[in-house]
Structure 1
Amino acid sequence: MVPLQHGLILSTVLFILGLSCLILRRNLMFILAGIEIMLNSASLLIVIVSSYFRQVDGQIMYIITISVAAVEASIGLIILLKFYHFRQTLDVDTASEMHG
């Protein structure tokens, strides 16, 4: 069994990587990937903590979280494709130039 501290450190590192990708990148695809990494980091934390306390609730929450992540990814990709169709780029700075 993996010690709780190792799981917490791994989850924290993954969350920080996702957050840095979200903040530093200007490409919408990388921003979407950063959000997915952060969501998976939170899911990993839930499973590790529930395993430490020998509860099944964390695995059930993981299934719900993965379902939400799949919906978020599909909607995010649809928005990303529409944005690319209209702007021919995935740069976030061009979104501020959009007019109704």
Structure 2
Amino acid sequence: MIPTLWYLILAATLFVIGAAGVLLRRNVLIVLMSLELMLNSVTINLLAFGHAQQDLRGQIIAIFVIAITAAEVAVALGILVALLRNKHTLEVDELTILKG
């Protein structure tokens, strides 16, 4: 049996990689992939703690997180396609179309 600490170390590593991707990269697609890594690390934490506590609530909430993540990806990719058609770039610094 794998200790819970290993899952927490994996989740922390994924979260740090995702946070670094959000803060350091300028491509919107890579920023979204980094956000997905961060959400996956949260899901791993929920599953690890749910398994450690012998409680199914962690797994149930993890399923909801995965469903919300899938919906977020669908909406974000639609927005990215629209931005790419209008601006012909996916660089964060050049996308000022949402400013009022």
In the other structure, the counterpart of 2:17 is 17
Which ranges in structure 2 are unaligned for 5 or more consecutive residues? none
More helix by share: 1
Secondary structure of the equivalent of 2:93?
helix
In the other structure, the counterpart of 2:31 is 31
In the other structure, the counterpart of 2:2 is 2
Aligned length: 100
Q: TM-score, normalised by structure 1?
A: 0.94
Q: Percent identity?
A: 33
Alignment of 1:37-52 (within 5 A): 37-52=37-52
Q: TM-score, normalised by structure 2?
A: 0.94
Counterpart-to-counterpart distance in 2, 1:15 and 1:98? 28
Which ranges in structure 1 are unaligned for 5 or more consecutive residues? none
1:38-58 Cα deviation digits (max 9, x unpaired): 001100100001101111111
Please state how far the C-alpha of 1:96 moved relative to its aligned partner: 3.0
| Cα RMSD, aligned residues only | 1.4
